[in-house]
Amino acid sequence: MDLLKHKVHTAYKGVAESLMSTRTTSAFIDKGVVSPEEFVIAGDFLVAQCPTWSWQGGEPKNARSFLPLDKQFLVTRNVPCLMRAAAMEEYAGGEKMLDGDDDGWVEAGGSGGVRSGGVTGDDDIADIDDVPDIGGLHVDDSAVAATAAAAAAEAAVATAAAGADAEDDGDIPDMDDFVDLAAEAEEDEASALPAQHGAGAGASGNDDHILKTRTYDLSITYDKYYQTPRVWLNGYDERRQALDPKRALEDISAEHAQKTVTIDPHPHTSVPSASIHPCKHGPVMKKLTDMMAKPGTQPSVEHYLFVFLKFIASVVPTIEYDYTLAI
């Protein structure tokens, strides 16, 4: 979004919000928008079903009067982001439709490469037609008899050897009766070392096996102007250092990164954050709500944020937050 245009729109939106009244009637089915009261109802249901989400109050000076002081916005923290969105889109772009006997199936993207064990593809796997027919094998009776006789002879020799070993065992001292003076000396030296030295070495070794990824804190606020939820992203790199909000664009689908994502101060914490602009949220939610509707029934406003987060997942496909209903 053009920077100057965005600044002008933000200023206009701030003035308009200060003058406009707050929605008090329900319109999520007709227009895809919600009132602050419905936002709280949907938020309570999300928190109850997904404990990774919680309500926050934020800074008192930034509190919105139309929301409870302790329920100003929703947040989930330390959400993993294993890969950049471009890498996922590149992989997805490699998919191809199969035909023939596999018609209707899709082969996953990517170049495949060498599999574990050195197998490179289906061509390396033996065809079942190449396996010999076991019914056509002929067993020589004389060979079977010879094999049985050899096995009996080996068993007899093993039995005799075991008896001799049992007689000799009484004359051999048990090694457990000896004291290893060298081992005791090593144990004494080890116990004299500082405890933190050993712990530090172990911790360093364990860290090598920990997968370090980007993480995000996601929050959902209520936008009075658009009358919909709005998502905010605060990222951290692999060393848990705060990520420049502009770098969050790497984890947003290319289709949305330069069109609907802006960098603004968070309305409740004032921290610069990447935000998915809500200008299209209402129409999209209306369409999704219509898809959910069944003959004779209407979707419940409690499920609004679950549908909303499913929609946002298409914008941030590699940020793995929770939006699943608990059973």
Using the structure block, give the residue that is written with the tokens 């602050």: 36
User: Which tokens go with 287?
Assistant: 């369409």
Helix, strand or coil, per DSSP, at residue 262: strand
Q: Which of 29, 47, 63, 279 is catalytic?
A: 279
321 in Cβ contact with 215 (< 8 Å): no
Please indicate whether residue 50 is annotated as part of the active site. Answer: no
Q: What is the phi/psi pair of residue 326, to 5°?
A: -75, 145
Q: Which structure tokens are listed for 301? A: 């406003």
Closest to 13 (Cα-Cα) out of 184, 223, 244 = 223
Helices (H) and strands (E) in the chain, counts: 9, 8
In terms of Cβ atoms closer than 10 Å to its own Cβ (0-12, 13-18, 19+), residue 136 is exposed
Q: Which helix (H) or strand (E) holds 288?
A: helix 281-292
Structure tokens at 283: 């129409």
3-state DSSP percent of the chain in helix, strand and coil, to 5: 45, 15, 40
Q: Which residue has the tokens 């190449």?
A: 130
Active centre residues (catalytic):
279
